[in-house]
Structure 1
Amino acid sequence: MTLVVVTGAGGFVGGHLVRAVRAQYPHAQVRGTDIHHPEYGRSEADQFLVADLRERDRCAEAVAGADVVFALAANMGGIGWTHAAPAEILHDNLLISVNTMDACREEGVRTVVYTSSACVYPGSLQREPDSAPLRETPVLPAEPDMQYGWEKLTTEILCETYRETYDMDIKVARLHAIYGPQGSYSGLRAKSLSMLCGKVAAVPGDRGEIEVWGDGTQTRSYCYVDDCVTGLLRLAESPVDQPVNIGSEERVSISELVARIAHIAGKEITTRYLPDKPVGPLGRVSDNALCRRLLGWQPDTSLDDGLRRTYRWIEEQVAAHRSGEVVTR
């Protein structure tokens, strides 16, 4: 029987991926592993191994017997976290990535899918809100986004080297701003879209003010989590041997994003911009030409559709927190 391992299965994307693997491969065994259990609900993996993948022996245990490994485990968060803990992020993620690739090599894993990030792209390509969409090729000369981006780019090089040296089937997915239900929406680890949803949901009544980092002109493209996991599964089954973007091509400014969230919430929201806070690249949008060509597919959930589903879930969480209830779905 095929054994599929998802590292980082206690996290946001990992949890959704476990469910997608179970649905697409009903006869496979799914092992999830993470340093903690999922924050929201229980994992649907057949086995769940709580393990610190910074430890080489635990990493070997996690992938033992695996046919396919989706390598999602990472110390990560939103821009607040990347600025608060750069050394911890670089240290932990280098250990996790090297241990995972070595363990997969020694175990003879058939296929490995590594989740990289749009943070590998040079800052020089993202300095204006209307910067051109990011194609997969221009990553050198290197100028990635902070220590998180440096680690992702380093591991991409590791994957390429192991693929060529050890004849490993390693795929690399460059994820662009994944969002959806069951992701962090408060604190330093929350990503921008979910954080803004949480702030709007926390506004009592039908009007109020929220703080927004930056001046609101920075742009992003956000990819709904269901599209992300579909892309990862398609990549795993493909013969592709080069990094591929998995992201949306729908550009939105942060100020427009707040307006869309407010509309869905039915609230009148004013924004207090904090231009002294970090905002990352001023313009980051995925170019999906290679994804369409190599996978015959691209993410197709519109921002408004994904935003409605995400906001409603976060709204439930915020309301439950106020009342002292626990919502796990």
Structure 2
Amino acid sequence: MEAQKTILITGAAGFLGSHLCDRFIKEGYKVIGMDNYITGDRKNINHLFNHTSFSFIEHDVTEHIKIKDELDFILHFASPASPIDYLKIPIQTLKVGSLGTHNLLGLAKAKKARILIASTSEIYGDPLVHPQPESYFGNVSTIGPRGVYDEAKRFQESITMAYHRFHGVEVRIVRIFNTYGPRMRLNDGRVIPAFMGQVLRGEDLTVFGDGSQTRSFCYVDDQVEGIFRLLLSDYSEPVNIGNPHETTILDFAKEIIKLGESEQKIIYKPLPQNDPLQRQPDISLAKRLLNWEPKVPREIGMKITFDYFKSLSHDELYKKEHKDFSKYHKH
């Protein structure tokens, strides 16, 4: 009988990280979760603490990482991912992409483990090529407010490939496009929880710019399946995982209003600096390499996600963003 494999998942208490913990436990892995709860939430993994295949370490990956267990795999998903977060903690965002990634690559080297790092479609910036293939180098402002996230991820990819080429570390890189589903934070500033929260509270929906900018939304189960397949593949360069079906933000706002059976108005505010006007993945490589493409129709995924937010308590629905980042500012 094959020995149980062990995987370390950083950012385990986050939206995607918690779903990845679920998937790898289901697949028979021993999962070690790691998070410092800077943007994650313990409630996302509460159901796992009594599971015999799950253990947890509260730790900041930008500090030295010690793991006694042997490791077969590492998933590095520790990073703020919403504009509200990374604009409040820009230095910590840069540190987790640089120092954190460096620490985890060193751990992968020491443990002879394969490591998959979570990159992002944001490395393409405000793209001049549409849809975005992995070969596109991007159009990114290094000094703009979003640069702290974009450049952290670009550096993350660079150091990952350097460890692969120089030290022979087995690496995988997933470029994640907009993903949604249960366990997203309601008030983290991303478009889906923002719109759904406004509908559920009876507020007008806020659209930035004229709403003609586009996004492509991938349901979390599809995203996790793509990540799972990529980890077990033999391909070391970046792969886009996302849904290629593009929609404008304005049409999407109308879709959420219809989903909530509400009659809110749409109000318009100025477009944030460097906000990408187009976002659509070219997933030709994922189709060919991983035999992967998204399966969950948006109307089904959105209904599941809306029902999740609808199930939140009154206090959760109406509270403002509660994360206290003050202890990180001194760094």
TM-score (norm 1): 0.86
Residues 153/279 of structure 1: CA separation in 2 closer, same or farther (3 Å cut): closer
The residue number in structure 1 matching 2:198 is 199
Q: 1:106-145 to 2 correspondence within 5 Å? A: 106-109=110-113, 111-125=114-128, 132-139=130-137
Tell me the distance in 2 between the aligned counterparts of 1:43 and 1:121.
Answer: 36
> SS of 1:171's equivalent?
strand
Tell me the distance in 1 between the aligned counterparts of 2:157 and 2:254.
Answer: 37
The residue number in structure 2 matching 1:54 is 62
Aligned equivalent of 1:66, options 50, 71, 95: 71
Tell me the distance in 2 between the aligned counterparts of 1:17 and 1:263.
Answer: 31
One-letter amino acid matched to 2:176: L
Tell me the distance in 2 between the aligned counterparts of 1:247 and 1:276.
Answer: 24
2:42 counterpart of 1:38: yes
Give the C-alpha shift of residue 60 in structure 1.
2.8
Question: In the alignment, is the contact (CA less than 8 A) between 2:94 and 2:149 conserved in 1?
Answer: yes
Give the C-alpha shift of residue 140 in structure 1.
6.0
> SS of 2:195's equivalent?
helix
Give the C-alpha shift of residue 80 in structure 1.
2.9
Tell me the distance in 2 between the aligned counterparts of 1:242 and 1:276.
Answer: 33
The residue number in structure 2 matching 1:159 is 160
The residue number in structure 1 matching 2:22 is 19
> SS of 1:268's equivalent?
coil
Question: In the alignment, is the contact (CA less than 8 A) between 1:213 and 1:274 conserved in 2?
Answer: yes
Length, aligned pairs only? 306
Question: In the alignment, is the contact (CA less than 8 A) between 1:213 and 1:278 conserved in 2?
Answer: no
2:86 counterpart of 1:82: yes
Structure 1 residues 314-323 or 239-248, which shifts more? 314-323
Question: In the alignment, is the contact (CA less than 8 A) between 1:79 and 1:280 conserved in 2?
Answer: no
The residue number in structure 2 matching 1:301 is 296
Structure 1 residues 313-322 or 149-158, which shifts more? 313-322
Give the C-alpha shift of residue 122 in structure 1.
4.2
One-letter amino acid matched to 1:11: G
- Residue identity (%): 25
Write the deviation string for residues 158-208 of structure 1: whole angstroms up to 9, x where unpaired. 11111111111100000001111011111xx342112211111111xxxx5
Gaps of 5+ in 1: 126-130, 325-329
Question: In the alignment, is the contact (CA less than 8 A) between 2:33 and 2:55 conserved in 1?
Answer: yes
The residue number in structure 1 matching 2:325 is none
Question: In the alignment, is the contact (CA less than 8 A) between 1:198 and 1:318 conserved in 2?
Answer: no
The residue number in structure 2 matching 1:327 is none
2:9 counterpart of 1:6: yes
Question: In the alignment, is the contact (CA less than 8 A) between 1:248 and 1:300 conserved in 2?
Answer: no
Tell me the distance in 1 between the aligned counterparts of 2:318 and 2:278.
Answer: 39
The residue number in structure 1 matching 2:30 is 29
Write the deviation string for residues 243-294 of structure 1: whole angstroms up to 9, x where unpaired. 0001000101111111111111111121111115457101111111111011
Question: In the alignment, is the contact (CA less than 8 A) between 2:185 and 2:193 conserved in 1?
Answer: yes
The residue number in structure 2 matching 1:227 is 222
One-letter amino acid matched to 1:198: G
Tell me the distance in 1 between the aligned counterparts of 2:198 and 2:274.
Answer: 17
> SS of 1:132's equivalent?
coil
Tell me the distance in 2 between the aligned counterparts of 1:83 and 1:212.
Answer: 19
> SS of 1:173's equivalent?
strand
One-letter amino acid matched to 1:177: N
Question: In the alignment, is the contact (CA less than 8 A) between 2:13 and 2:45 conserved in 1?
Answer: no
Tell me the distance in 2 between the aligned counterparts of 1:94 and 1:235.
Answer: 22
Residues 191/279 of structure 1: CA separation in 2 closer, same or farther (3 Å cut): farther
Gaps of 5+ in 2: 320-331
Write the deviation string for residues 28-68 of structure 1: whole angstroms up to 9, x where unpaired. 21111111352445152610111111111xx232x741111
Give the C-alpha shift of residue 86 in structure 1.
2.6
One-letter amino acid matched to 1:4: I
Residues 271/13 of structure 1: CA separation in 2 closer, same or farther (3 Å cut): same
Q: 1:223-302 to 2 correspondence within 5 Å? A: 223-278=218-273, 280-302=275-297
Question: In the alignment, is the contact (CA less than 8 A) between 2:15 and 2:183 conserved in 1?
Answer: yes
The residue number in structure 1 matching 2:326 is none
Question: In the alignment, is the contact (CA less than 8 A) between 2:201 and 2:318 conserved in 1?
Answer: no
Tell me the distance in 1 between the aligned counterparts of 2:112 and 2:226.
Answer: 24
Question: In the alignment, is the contact (CA less than 8 A) between 1:86 and 1:146 conserved in 2?
Answer: no
